DNA sequence: CTTTCTGCAAACGATTTGCAGCAGC
DNA sequence: GCTGCTGCAAATCGTTTGCAGAAAG
């Protein structure tokens, strides 16, 4: 539970409604199959792999999953994370789940979510936009990972 | 080791000597082929792909390159970066190239290096280690990317 | 009904690996 | 000479795609 995104209990319907809106804006339907993929992602609360989604979604074909994840990504519903082991991980976009970062375990590869205080984020964004601009680069957003050992591996 | 980060003209011998040390510590030789791969990486100054390394290293076979990159990675000489397009990029480790971050272009996929002021880095590390610990996670280091549009794509 | 989704199986492309010959020490 | 490194070609594996039938509106 513990829906992320800051607010203690963001209602399920809100998120689903927003997803529907995002899909509609991309001329895509929210079918039953797609709904089950969304549920798998919401239930995880961290970036998960294709095989993990398949494991909790009986009857879902791998190709449909990949195709739907691509649709979701294009619509801004999910974000794809290329992890070190070559298998991509997916999670709901920050627009839906709130801005956050990742704790990445170097031993087992697990990834979990974590958030920073708002004031830190703001100062960081200021510095980054500034440094980027000096390289002729216009920043859209940042991505920050903490690399180390998870609770189980240390 | 004095030489590190920032200075435009870090002496070749220092870096190569350190690489040799790292390889020796992993029971690996610094052969002529491996030397040419190192040169390709040093010349780039940013994370580059396998095909880019092959392009500037005539006669190098693809399989040897992949094998050597794996050896380098295990020895701490290079770091592998999984980029969004599925093709990995490689660059000298921070131990050799100094701590830095990446500017990632969402349009053309180019990646460039950038550094932040030391005081920012230190404050950030403090906050991150703290937040990570609250999740039972022990931080080794952080990874920070600026995502946006490069000089050519904006 | 028409269009979009879905599952199956085949295709793809980056990366890995088995093997025989060559290079480093 | 022994051991490790290299190149070639074949294998692997995550992901993508063509196609025909099923579901959504």
Helices (H) and strands (E) in chain B, counts: 6, 6
C1' (D23) to CA (B60) span, angstroms: 53
Q: Which two tokens stand for residue B11?
A: 């002496």
Q: How far apart are the C-alpha atoms of A143 and B76, rounded to whole Å?
A: 23
The C-alpha angle with vertex A119 and arms to A117 and A121, in degrees rounded to 5, equals: 75
CA distances from A89 to A44, A80, B23 (A): 11, 6, 32
User: Which pair of tokens denotes residue B105?
Assistant: 């272009």
Could you state, in order of their start, the residue ranges of all structural domains in chain A?
1-98, 99-154
Chain B residues whose CB is inside 8 A of the A114 CB are: 131-132, 135, 137
Residue A153: is its pLDDT beyond 50? yes
Q: What is the pLDDT of residues A65-103, one digit of tens each?
A: 999 999 999 999 999 999 999 999 999 999 999 999 999
Give pLDDT, residue A13: 74
Nearest to B15 by CA among A42, B7, A4, A88: B7
Task: Name the nucleotide nearest A65; use CA and C1'.
Answer: C6
Name the CATH superfamily, with its identifier, for domain A99-154: Ferric-uptake regulator, C-terminal dimerisarion domain (3.30.1490.190)
pLDDT tens-digit readout, B58-95: 999 999 999 999 999 999 999 999 999 999 999 999 99
Per-residue pLDDT, B13: 74
Which of B82, B112, B141 faces A135 most closely, judged by CB atoms?
B112
Options 3.40.50.300, 1.10.10.10, 1.20.58.1910, 3.40.50.1220; CATH for A1-98 is 1.10.10.10
**Radius of gyration of chain B from its Cα atoms, rounded to whole angstroms:** 17
Sign of the Cα pseudo-torsion (A15, A121, A147, B26, in order) = positive
pLDDT classification of A4: cutoffs 50, 70, 90? very low
Average pLDDT over residues B4-26: 78
pLDDT bucket at B2, cuts 50 / 70 / 90? very low
* pLDDT tens digit sequence for A8-55: 455 677 899 999 999 999 999 999 999 999 999 999 999 999 999 999
Query: In terms of C-beta density within 10 A (0-12 exposed, 13-18 middle, 19 or more buried), how is residue A85 classed?
Result: exposed
Determine contact, residues B37/B53, Cβ cutoff 8 Å. Answer: yes
Mean pLDDT of B30-49: 97
Dihedral (CA of A24, A30, A31, A37) sign: positive
Identical fold at A1-98 and A99-154? no
Rounded mean pLDDT of chain A? 93
pLDDT score recorded for residue B10: 58
Task: Using an 8 Å CB-CB cutoff, list residues of chain B that contact chain A.
Answer: 80, 82-84, 86, 103, 105-106, 112, 114-117, 120, 124, 127-128, 131-132, 135-151, 154
């Amino acid at each position: 539970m513990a829906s992320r995104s800051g607010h203690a209990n963001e209602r399920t319907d809100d998120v689903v409604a927003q997803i529907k809106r995002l899909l509609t804006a991309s001329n895509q339907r929210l079918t039953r199959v797609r709904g089950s993929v969304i549920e798998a992602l919401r239930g995880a609360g961290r970036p998960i792999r294709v095989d993990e989604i398949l494991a909790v979604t009986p009857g879902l074909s791998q190709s449909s999953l990949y195709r739907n994840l691509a649709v979701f990504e294009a619509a801004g519903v999910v974000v794809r994370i290329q992890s070190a082991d070559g298998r991509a991980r997916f999670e709901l976009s920050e627009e839906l789940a709130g801005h956050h970062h990742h704790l990445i375990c170097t031993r087992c590869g697990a990834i979990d979510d974590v958030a920073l205080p708002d004031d830190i984020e703001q100062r960081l964004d200021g510095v980054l936009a500034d440094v980027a601009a000096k390289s002729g680069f216009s920043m859209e957003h940042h991505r920050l990972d903490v690399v180390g050992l998870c609770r189980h591996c240390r």
